[in-house]
Structure 1
Amino acid sequence: MNTQNCFHCGNNIVKAEEIQFDEKSFCCTGCKTVYEIFSLNDLTCYYDFETAPGATPQDIKGKYDFLDNADIAEKLLDFNEEHTQIATLYIPHIHCSSCIWILENLNKLNQGIAASQVNFHEKKVRITFNSGNVSLKEIVLLLSSIGYEPYISLENYENKKKEVDRSLYYKIGVAFFSFGNIMLLSFPEYFEVGEFWIEQYKGFFRWLIFALALPPFFYSAWGYYVSAWKSIKSKMLNIDIPIALGIVVMFVRSTVDIAMGYGQGFFDSMCGLIFFMLLGKMFQQKTYNFLSFERDYKSYFPIAVTKILSDKSEEAIQVYDIQKGDRLLIRNQELIPVDGILISEKTAIDYSFVTGEAVAIEKKSGDKIYAGGKQIGNVIEMEVLHSVSQSYLTQLWSNDVFQKHFDRKYKTITDTISRYFTPALLLLAFVSFGFWIFRDVTTAFNVFTAILIVACPCALALTAPFTLGNVLRLMGYRKIYLKNATVIEQLAKVDTVVFDKTGTITTNKKTSIIYEGTPLNDYELKLLKNALRGSNHPLSRRLYDFIPNQEKSETSHFEEIIGKGIFATADAHTIKLGSSQFLQHLSENTHKKTKVHVEIDGVYKGSYVFNNQYREGLEPLFDKLSKKYNLVVLSGDNDGERKILEKMLPSKTTLVFNQKPEQKLQFIENLQKEGQNVMMVGDGLNDAGALAQANVGISISENVNVFSPACDGILDATQFSKIGYFLKLSKNAMKTIYMSFALSLLYNIVGLSFAVSGNLSPLVAAIIMPLSTVTIVSFVTIMSNYFARK
């Protein structure tokens, strides 16, 4: 009987209910409507990714009326500011490439949606929209109308526990039960015990073995069939094809053996194969989950935020120590690490890290401010509404807007090998089967199955991600926090290292500071200290700590001009601090020292002279790096310390002074045009452009909550002297990848040689396959840990 399938969802159509539209058949009005929506919006290429990928839309009339309540809808929003709202929705139906494609093109279905991004593994979509044009309820209804109804639970929405998928454990349990019992029932035939294995019961036990083999074949191994079928449909051969083919061949051959009375077949080997492969899969899943946990745990930013204590004193604390109800002090250019309520009179917040739009939004006292915003202008106070969400900060850091895109050579190698591996494996299996079938039928089937199983390139595919994941974890332990695994590969390619001077090779700790000029009275010191309170510049922070404690007061105006200085107004007095060019008082060329000049009410008062203290281990670090890398010190200061640096640093070090932020970026770009791979190490404040331009940008963190999304890594200032160690560890990580590639290929060659010659049974092959994964994982773990300790 001919059955017609729905063009949209693929379900069988009852003839009486068939709906014809545009020369296509649909099972219901809902599927036809979805197709019409896609057609009208020129999105029919949705069906090119996979045949019948859609889901049948459900009748949801009135189901989401509760979203008309603004208070309820607010709870589902990650971000809600003026014309930009962000919501993350869980969509259980996400299952294939076409799902990703349509969900990331929602903006074509509704102009109010600015962007949408799918997290395939968690089945979530993050939607950025304008509530003035489209409401959250309308978005949910739109998703439901095209077959992607979200699951919404307001109960403990923010902290709901993820459901644990135990299906793999059940499959392993079923396979193990059948494997053990089939082995037990097969012992008499193994040993040919005639007295026990009475002829009249032989058929019964063989069909009992057949019955026991059915659950593993149809349930435990089902995932391999689905994966293989999808791979064939997409015309891309993956490794599950030979595995599924091997299982099916063993099942059919064994069934024929029992039916024809030739023997009990290979059901014991088949169940053992499924059991050991699933066991290997579980091991791989566990190792990835472990790495993921380590990465999540270590992905917090080692940045600090200033907490205001009950006695009005200030204390720098780590972001993960923030608790609900704490009062925080946020300076100019600092990241707001948590949602909170603005206590200060007013401020401007730049949410470009979240929305990609660098438009400052005015806020007044009592307004809610969101994590991820950057405070612009005068220092503010805020009260914390929630403890910090490290995953949210990591998400900001990993925003696609700030990602750098590089070719990944190791991935190309893996893809190339995988692309040709499966076809070559299938060809070898069929040729070997053809060779053996005329000599020994049993051996032919054994060889065919063993080849399909033993040559599994799972270990090959696991090599690069596991190695880099483990190195990412090891670096996290040593207080360098990298954005992603790609950064390790880029670190391995670096041949030029550029250092900022102030706040990078110099420390922000209290050093020798001398005041030169007209003595400042207590009131003037108070004005000065309160003006400095809002700045995050390394010199400002050091000077703020140097000036004795003063009564705190509000500055009515605050402006910090990057690379120049501060202009502030307090108690009707104007205060200017910064370079001599900014104050238009002295020529920097006549005074070759690092200075911060002071002007109050238009009258020049004097300057604070900094005798910079260089970081511990600077000289040994540069000596070591100079043997393998080109070194550059790039500074916005004058060249007053050139002679000191020339004595301290290797003679080949390039020293460049008087560089504005845009000139630093241009300098990096020029090095790259010469074919150099550049790593920039800066403090993240004046160096944001240079950090973004460099192949690898590393931001130094030292009790300052300055967050540069363009940086590829954050280095704890205490680990500055270990930069050479991290560069070498990255090179060794790439070396480990190539070594494990060779080991995995060697394993496949040896295994295949035994399989082709008929000296390897399918069961042994099934045991060896997960062992190869264990071997590779153990090898890369041992080698990366060895290089880390070296």
Structure 2
Amino acid sequence: MQALSLICFHCHQQVTEIGRYQTRILDEMQPMCCPGCQAVAEAIVANGLEDYYRFRTEPAEKADSMPDDLLEKLRLFDQPELQEEFVIHQGKTNQVQLSLDGISCAACAWLIEKKLARLAGIKQIAVNVSARRAIVSWYPQQVALSEIINAIEKIGYHAQPFHPQQQEENFKNTDRAYLKRIGLAGLMTMQVMMIAIALYFGLFGNLDEDIREFMHWISLGLSIPVVFYSGAVFYQGAWRALRSGGVNMDVPVSIAIWVLFIASAKATVLARGEVFFESVCMFIFLLLISRFLEHRARHKAAQISANMSKYIPVTATLVEQGNTRDILAKLLKTDQTVLVKPGETIPVDGQVLDGHSHVDESMLTGEFEPVTKTPGSEVYGGALNQSGTLTIRVLRPLKEAMVNQILRLQDEALLNKPAIAQLADRISSYFVLAVLLISALTFWFWHAQGNANAFWIMASVLVATCPCALGLATPSALTSAMARLNRQGVLLKRADLLEALCEIDTLAFDKTGTLTEGKFSLQQTINLSAHSDEMLLRLAAALESYSEHPLAKAFAPYAGTLAENVQVMPGFGLIGWIDGQEYRIGSQHLMSHPVPDSLSACNVLLADRNGILAGFVLTDQIRPDAAAMLKQLNHYQHCIISGDNQQNVSKIGQALQIDRLYSQCKPEQKLKKMQELQHQGQHVLMMGDGINDAPVLAAAQVSVAVGGATELAKNAADVILIKPSLTLLPVLFNMAKRSRAKIKQNMAWALGYNLLVLPLAVCGYLTPWLGVVGMSLSSIIVVANSVRLLKADS
């Protein structure tokens, strides 16, 4: 054995890195030349096939391996400078978010999690199939990031640190690949179908047998690119599932394709028997369209949320020894000092050292009214500085800023979301195993009886009971429902959400921007002067025209009078001169006279030198369609989870007759409240619009972002209302119920048909040709039933 130490035990090629790749075979450690051969050898051993090496007569072919340059590129991810971009340090462990390419179902996620869990140094691995991402926590002293990515590459998937732009590019590449496969399959299917129909119905007249065989050879040639290229996506998924010891929907699909194709090719070569090339091509074409529609829904959702990174600050003004210079925000370190001018985005979480200003934190808190910042106040990266200049001491680097914490909180909530099992996948997994067993027993029985048609009887069983209709039952209904919802202004990121909606029993709403319009308007004027209301409003509008405060916009319709020498008092209001008179507008703290009790409900006061003239009540308007939406969904439990104060939340709750109210909730408190509801056994749909809603949206069983929501809220949500109408929520629930009914009808038909034809095929009464016709009709019936969802009342 020593002489063999320099050659690979699997393929007998030269080993260049002795001792790096090894596998225990036949109770001895054997050298391998590359990770590809090592992976294949480990799979052979794991499946109890070691005798292959004992009895083989020649070495195996060299397994595919990653190029050396790719391995070197992966090692770049271990550099601390590069890891600063995307790795979060959590004490003794590190955490990274990876984009995954090539995953298609829950079995793929299971395989990745299972393989990485065996890797020494991995603390936790969680894969999100719909987002095609994984969050990995590991101990850097035991395993390197490059080894983690390498382990994923070795099992057939591609991983890299998550980046929004790169994720979008991956979607586009997949989109183009689907279009190529569908285009080829559609073109060839039309040609094969024309030949098959003409032969079946005698449209060519009485053909000689040689001409008929020639037509079969043409069909074979046209089918080969469809089977080998267009259908390859199914075989790759099936191979990964089988290699991991599981079965997914790609397995029965792949078996059906190859049984039909091989039987047809055999009949063509031997010039006897039936051919089923048109069924093979049609099956591949229909399934590709279904998967492409689901992929495009995810792609469109990704495009909508592609701008979420705009909330992450890019540059900052660093103050060093009295001088300033611009640097990247991500390079800022704790205790450094930065300068933030009016109109600029605050680069990191910090503490104000000097300056007074109004800061718009709506992208974090969801509340429209700015917050006054003075020395000692804490500010957050991503918030907008509206008025004064601030000098800030850095408390945390950018990657640990609140905006990034919310992003990570959202992703972790997504990974902890309960998985919705696909009923069709579970049934087909067991069904295909049963069919394979019955087919094998059928062949053995008829072959033992000396029946020359034993193979064709077995083929009839496989063809007639092929789970084509079962495979189309769920996706055809879901994609039809999604297409209908898209036309109505509702975008779903995942098709399985329609099933989850049927389990919802509680509706939770954010207040500002969701149940309300998110902008202030004048509700009441309390006049204490001799002036008319119109005159007071013109005075107020003249002063407020110099303010950037959101409350000031409520007075814009009354503008007309000009003010002079206006002073902005951050956190208090404005002082200015109009027609030679001094006026003040703002909070009670700006007033130089006592505020009467009659104005206690007013949030803006107007005064001159002689006293207070008037008070104004400004409120956020309830959306006009909110009450109608709640009335249509009155059989669900309702609650409000808001970051606004108790008084405002109570006012909205009373107006909309909602009793369960949770106010003054920060993002983490909203998430905790959601989890409490779920622990009580409630299935919750959450509707929101702000960045502060992102974690709770991700944690809900189903989440909805209203029209006009922030990009981050849209990214976290499962459903996006493209049109700004709350009445689309009842439409969504109605479609969910209709689609579930269609799925049940489709599966009942598909299973009923298979159970009906199975005994006929086993007994030899059903020819392969009739099996193909029955299978095709079964699939057409399922698709036709699903397409009815595109109609309004079907």
- Once residues 474 and 502 of structure 2 are traced to their aligned partners in structure 1, the CA distance between those partners, rounded to angstroms, is 14
Per-residue deviation, residues 433-488 of structure 1 (Å, max 9, x unmatched): 45655888355443221111121113323333443344334333333334433433
How far is 1:761 from its partner?
2.5
Residues 390-789 of structure 1: matches in 2 within 5 Å? 400-403=411-414, 405-408=416-419, 410-411=421-422, 413-433=423-443, 441=451, 444-508=454-518, 511-514=521-524, 525=543, 529-530=547-548, 532=549, 543=554, 595=603, 608-611=616-619, 613-626=621-634, 628-633=635-640, 636-639=644-647, 646=654, 649=656, 653-654=658-659, 656=661, 659-661=664-666, 667-684=673-690, 687=693, 690-702=696-708, 707=713, 709-716=715-722, 718-783=724-789, 785-786=790-791
How far is 1:415 from its partner?
3.3
Letter of the 2:659 partner, please give it.
Answer: T
Residues 188-227 of structure 1: matches in 2 within 5 Å? none
Residues 118-517 of structure 1: matches in 2 within 5 Å? 162=173, 164=177, 234-236=244-246, 238-239=251-252, 240-241=254-255, 244-245=258-259, 248=262, 264-266=271-273, 269-270=274-275, 273-297=276-300, 300-301=303-304, 336=310, 375-379=382-386, 400-403=411-414, 405-408=416-419, 410-411=421-422, 413-433=423-443, 441=451, 444-508=454-518, 511-514=521-524
Q: Is the 8 A contact 1:698 1:712 kept in 2?
A: yes
Secondary structure of the residue aligned to 2:434 is helix
Distance 1:241 1:45, change over 3 A: closer
Q: Is the 8 A contact 1:497 1:679 kept in 2?
A: yes
How far is 1:772 from its partner?
3.4
Secondary structure of the residue aligned to 2:624 is coil
- Once residues 226 and 777 of structure 2 are traced to their aligned partners in structure 1, the CA distance between those partners, rounded to angstroms, is 20
Letter of the 2:499 partner, please give it.
Answer: E
Distance 1:766 1:720, change over 3 A: same
2:376 aligned partner: none
Q: Is the 8 A contact 2:477 2:787 kept in 1?
A: yes
Per-residue deviation, residues 135-154 of structure 1 (Å, max 9, x unmatched): 99999999999999999xxx
Secondary structure of the residue aligned to 1:681 is strand
How far is 1:173 from its partner?
8.3
Letter of the 2:436 partner, please give it.
Answer: L
RMSD, matched Cα: 7.2
Letter of the 2:412 partner, please give it.
Answer: V
Shifted more, 214-223 versus 706-715: the winner is 214-223
Distance 1:673 1:7, change over 3 A: farther
Secondary structure of the residue aligned to 2:461 is helix
Letter of the 1:497 partner, please give it.
Answer: L
Q: Is the 8 A contact 1:467 1:780 kept in 2?
A: yes
How far is 1:281 from its partner?
0.4
- Once residues 641 and 57 of structure 1 are traced to their aligned partners in structure 2, the CA distance between those partners, rounded to angstroms, is 58
Secondary structure of the residue aligned to 2:507 is strand
2:64 aligned partner: 55
Distance 1:173 1:340, change over 3 A: same
Q: Is the 8 A contact 2:698 2:716 kept in 1?
A: yes
Secondary structure of the residue aligned to 1:265 is coil
1:261 aligned partner: none
Secondary structure of the residue aligned to 1:415 is helix
- Once residues 431 and 115 of structure 1 are traced to their aligned partners in structure 2, the CA distance between those partners, rounded to angstroms, is 42
- Once residues 326 and 16 of structure 2 are traced to their aligned partners in structure 1, the CA distance between those partners, rounded to angstroms, is 62
Q: Is the 8 A contact 1:350 1:374 kept in 2?
A: no
- Once residues 528 and 745 of structure 1 are traced to their aligned partners in structure 2, the CA distance between those partners, rounded to angstroms, is 71
Structure 2 residue runs of 5 or longer lacking an equivalent are: 50-59, 319-323, 349-362, 365-379, 388-403, 529-535, 577-583
1:307 aligned partner: none
Distance 1:596 1:699, change over 3 A: farther
How far is 1:425 from its partner?
1.0
Aligned identity (percent) is 19
Distance 1:374 1:447, change over 3 A: farther
How far is 1:782 from its partner?
1.5
Per-residue deviation, residues 293-330 of structure 1 (Å, max 9, x unmatched): 3553465549xxxxxxxxxxxxxxxx99xxxxxxxxxx
How far is 1:496 from its partner?
2.0
Secondary structure of the residue aligned to 2:706 is strand
Residues matched between the structures, number = 668
Q: Is the 8 A contact 2:523 2:617 kept in 1?
A: yes
Q: Is the 8 A contact 2:418 2:701 kept in 1?
A: no
Q: Is the 8 A contact 1:471 1:733 kept in 2?
A: yes
Letter of the 2:758 partner, please give it.
Answer: L
Distance 1:675 1:183, change over 3 A: closer
How far is 1:424 from its partner?
1.6
Q: Is the 8 A contact 1:116 1:128 kept in 2?
A: no
Distance 1:91 1:612, change over 3 A: closer
Per-residue deviation, residues 21-57 of structure 1 (Å, max 9, x unmatched): 666699998527996xx9xxxx989996999996345
Shifted more, 19-28 versus 664-673: the winner is 19-28
- Once residues 362 and 145 of structure 1 are traced to their aligned partners in structure 2, the CA distance between those partners, rounded to angstroms, is 46
Letter of the 1:336 partner, please give it.
Answer: K
Secondary structure of the residue aligned to 2:713 is coil
- Once residues 544 and 45 of structure 1 are traced to their aligned partners in structure 2, the CA distance between those partners, rounded to angstroms, is 73
Q: Is the 8 A contact 1:6 1:26 kept in 2?
A: no
Secondary structure of the residue aligned to 1:707 is helix
Letter of the 2:296 partner, please give it.
Answer: F
Distance 1:14 1:704, change over 3 A: closer
How far is 1:280 from its partner?
1.5
How far is 1:713 from its partner?
3.2
Q: Is the 8 A contact 2:182 2:289 kept in 1?
A: no
How far is 1:120 from its partner?
12
Secondary structure of the residue aligned to 1:441 is coil
Shifted more, 753-762 versus 11-20: the winner is 11-20
Letter of the 2:272 partner, please give it.
Answer: G
Q: Is the 8 A contact 2:588 2:595 kept in 1?
A: no
- Once residues 337 and 777 of structure 2 are traced to their aligned partners in structure 1, the CA distance between those partners, rounded to angstroms, is 57
Per-residue deviation, residues 221-273 of structure 1 (Å, max 9, x unmatched): 56698887777665546323465456556766887xx5xxxxx422xx24xx2
Q: Is the 8 A contact 1:298 1:477 kept in 2?
A: no
Secondary structure of the residue aligned to 1:511 is strand
Q: Is the 8 A contact 1:410 1:464 kept in 2?
A: no
Letter of the 1:13 partner, please give it.
Answer: H
- Once residues 676 and 452 of structure 1 are traced to their aligned partners in structure 2, the CA distance between those partners, rounded to angstroms, is 44
Distance 1:499 1:363, change over 3 A: same
Secondary structure of the residue aligned to 2:690 is coil
Q: Is the 8 A contact 1:685 1:708 kept in 2?
A: no
Q: Is the 8 A contact 1:499 1:682 kept in 2?
A: yes
Secondary structure of the residue aligned to 2:703 is strand
- Once residues 149 and 654 of structure 1 are traced to their aligned partners in structure 2, the CA distance between those partners, rounded to angstroms, is 49
Shifted more, 717-726 versus 235-244: the winner is 235-244
Q: Is the 8 A contact 1:104 1:117 kept in 2?
A: no
How far is 1:644 from its partner?
8.7
